[in-house]
Structure 1
């Protein structure tokens, strides 16, 4: 076979493989344990004036990290110790827990998207230097998928759209309905579920699910 023909065949195969990868409907999955977000004032109340978070490990989303610092989340009926703080700091405190965690706290937090804390459950944060009570901010995070605009274009979805994600493994097969698409230039492709959802499907970080668009309902 002529060298020119062989190079042409290799080029065509590589092109087809590249196109196949770009049309894949697979979504990498990250399992998110209970965690806390703080603003500057809350951080200083809990850890002291001028305190700054120290990075333990980077997270999958660019610029975000798990801090070395942890706090205790308390309610009148229970508490959760060593709840990891995630950085960077935000404009308002927020705590994300699983349903199992909520049972331990004796609370009934709503299932919400991050940042949608209006009318959510109250909580107390306890740090080494002080404590804070917040009237709202405790939620169970709704399953969601972070996407860069290029990913959203490839999957033909838009910010706020609801999709389904199926995960199949040897032990169990589960389907996550009401999974929300979140699109930003700052995001990297990854679906986030909590520990209860992961346990239900024997899922671990690094597995992949298959995204399916939800057909519109007609009356």
Structure 2
């Protein structure tokens, strides 16, 4: 490897690190929309799918070591049911189902707004699998909006685990999500989770980015982007393991932020260069 190439690679790495640091210093938070899903204990996996059954992976989720399983169940309530509700893995110690308020109305139930894992006294529901069914006295919730982050993210964003913040998102329908809970663990990856009702309220699409605002902080109107007919995003978070030229052409922003370890094809780099799109990596 010649000296010129080494210098070029080092320059690109430094540029990527600077962009990531800038994203974090601007209090930008990637947003993911969490559709209805269930978490199952191993006992309930076997009750619904058969003795000795283990969940099988369909696709990795953005949070480390979490996956969408191939398995689905039916959730039923007094007034209706919802089919093909995705099971997320791996199996947990407690079973819970997370639905939107729109889903709850279809089921005919009124589950509480809760943090994931807080199911004591929550809604009752029925689950039906290919090998059996379960009626649970509790476990059905509408998940509270929250932000996953590492201890380093928390330090850079100047927040603490358990703190509540506001996240604003600009666009044709600007929206502010209040009482968003911070959840800190080095097992997490920086990302805000909202349900489909919350996403629809703000016309939130894949790759959306919010702005974190701590209690006591305010933004003047001039600091908030004016609504337009088209959502203008400065950067897109790309979470697949391989970035191809077709992926680059589908992205409408001028910056693509990748997960560490993502493979970039040579044609993807050329296409990005032609379109004036920068590519960087997130810590």
Q: TM-score, normalised by structure 2?
A: 0.70
Contact 2:78 2:109 in 1 (8 A): no
What are the ranges of 5 or more consecutive residues in structure 2 without an aligned counterpart?
A: 1-10, 218-283
Partner of 1:182: 183
**For 2:23 and 2:214, how far apart are their aligned partners in 1?**
18
**For 1:83 and 1:153, how far apart are their aligned partners in 2?**
36
**For 1:110 and 1:202, how far apart are their aligned partners in 2?**
24
Contact 2:24 2:157 in 1 (8 A): no
Matches within 5 A, 1:125-136: 125-136=127-138
- For residue 211 of structure 1, give the secondary structure of its aligned residue in structure 2: strand
Q: Judging changes above 3 Å, is the alpha-carbon distance between structure 1 residues 162 and 69 closer, same or farther for their aligned structure 2 residues?
A: same
Matches within 5 A, 1:59-70: 59-70=61-72
Could you give the per-residue CA deviations for residues 1-25 of structure 1, whole angstroms, max 9, x where no partner exists?
xxxxxxxxx8xx9587565344121
Q: Which moved more, 1:177-186 or 1:16-25?
A: 16-25
Partner of 1:113: 115
**For 1:197 and 1:117, how far apart are their aligned partners in 2?**
21
- For residue 152 of structure 2, give the secondary structure of its aligned residue in structure 1: helix
Runs of 4+ in 1 over 6 A off after TM superposition: none
Cα shift at 1:206: 1.3
* Structure possessing the higher relative contact order (Cα contacts under 8 Å, 6 or more residues apart): 1
Q: CA RMSD in A?
A: 1.9
Partner of 1:91: 93
- The size of the alignment, in residue pairs, is 206
What are the ranges of 5 or more consecutive residues in structure 1 without an aligned counterpart?
A: 1-9
Q: TM-score, normalised by structure 1?
A: 0.89
